[in-house]
Copies of this chain bind each other. A is one copy, B any other.
C-alpha cells in the first residue's frame, strides 16, 4: 500500500533490481561495499518488502495456520487461550506469523482447514485436540502438508509430528497420591467424545490401579458429552448421590473437576473433608474456586511454544522421521484433596 518498491530503491541507488534484492538478502556474491550501501539506503528510505510478491515467487507465506475449533456457543476457553499465546510467542521467535481461520456457522472444520492449506496462505498448520479417527490428520498426511498436532493417537504406529502432555503418567500420579491418603473408592468424571486424550488419561488411571494390585480399589466412571453442561451435571451427581459415594473424585480436566466441587457443595459436602477432588490442566479458575483445586499444570503455553519451534523445523528442514515429544505435567497441590474421611483412613 504504502512504501517504495524495490525498483524505486534500485533507481535511487542506480543499481539493478536484482542486485538490490541480493544485497538485502545478504548474498555474499554481492560486494560487501554494495551490500552496505543498499542496506543503509533501505533503512533510510524505510523500505519494506512487499510480502505478497515475495510469497508469490518463494511459495512461502510466512504464516502458520490455526483453525479455531468450533464449540457450540462457547468462547475461547482457558486451554485455547494459553495455547494461542504460546503459539504466537513461539512463532514470532522464528519470524513467522499466526493466521487464525474461524469456522463459519454451517461449515466443517475440515473444509476450512482444507481451504487454509490449499490457498497457500500458510506454510504449515497446528492441529489441537486430536480425535480418535481424526479426519484432519488423515487429510494433512495424505496431502503431505507440514503440521504438528497437540495430542497423539492411541497407538503409536501412526507416524506424524506431535507433542503431548504425558497424561498417562500424570493420572497414575493422581491415583498414587490419593491411594496413599487412604482412598479406595474413586469416581472419574469423563467425557463421551472420541478424543484421544480421554482414553490416555483413563488408561493412566487404570494402569496405576492394576499396578497397585489392590482388589479393594473401586473405580466408578460417569461420562457426558463435552460442553454439555446439563449432562455433565447429571453425570457428576450420579456419582455423588450413588448408594456408595466415592471418597475421591477426579475430573478428566479442570472444568469437570470444578463442576464436581460445585455439585458437591450443593449437596452439602465439604471439600476436602467429605470428598477429595482433583483435576487436570490448572486453568485459571482452579485457583479461584474455593478451597482451591488440586490439579496438574499441563504447561499448555510452553507446549504451544515448543510446537511452534517443531513446526518451523519441519517446514524448513523437512526431517525424514516424525518429531514427537512428551511433556511431563506437574502436580499443583492445592486444598481440594485430603485423607479419606471416616473411621477408615489407615494413614
| Contact status B262-A288, CB under 8 Å | yes
CA distance A82 to B81 in the complex (A): 10
| Contact status B75-A81, CB under 8 Å | yes
List the B side residues contacting A104 at CB < 8 Å: 89, 92-93
Nearest to A55 among chain B residues (CB) is B52
| Contact pattern, A 117-157, Cβ under 8 Å of B = 1, otherwise 0 | 11111000000000000000000000101000000000000
Q: Which of A24-32, A95-103, A177-185, A218-226 contacts B (4 or more CB under 8 A)?
A: A95-103
Tell which of B49, B52, B82, B301 touches A52, judged by Cβ atoms closer than 8 Å.
B52
List the B side residues contacting A100 at CB < 8 Å: 84, 88, 97-100
Tell which of B76, B82, B120, B289 touches A289, judged by Cβ atoms closer than 8 Å.
B289
Copies in the complex: 2
| Contact pattern, A 193-219, Cβ under 8 Å of B = 1, otherwise 0 | 000000000000000000000000000
Least CB distance, A64 to chain B, in whole angstroms: 10
Tell which of B59, B85, B101, B265 touches A68, judged by Cβ atoms closer than 8 Å.
B85
**Counting CB contacts under 8 A, is A320 at the interface?**
no
| Contact status B3-A118, CB under 8 Å | yes
List the B side residues contacting A284 at CB < 8 Å: 75, 285
**Counting CB contacts under 8 A, is A56 at the interface?**
yes
Least CB distance, A264 to chain B, in whole angstroms: 12
Question: What are some 21 contacts across the A-B interface (CB < 8 A)?
Answer: A3-B118, A48-B118, A51-B119, A52-B52, A52-B55, A68-B85, A75-B284, A76-B76, A76-B81, A84-B84, A88-B101, A91-B102, A92-B104, A93-B104, A97-B121, A98-B102, A99-B100, A100-B100, A262-B288, A265-B290, A285-B285
List residues of chain A with CB under 8 Å of any chain B CB: 1-3, 46, 48-53, 55-56, 59, 61, 63, 68, 75-78, 80-82, 84-85, 88-89, 91-93, 97-104, 115, 117-121, 143, 145, 258, 262, 265, 284-285, 288-290, 301
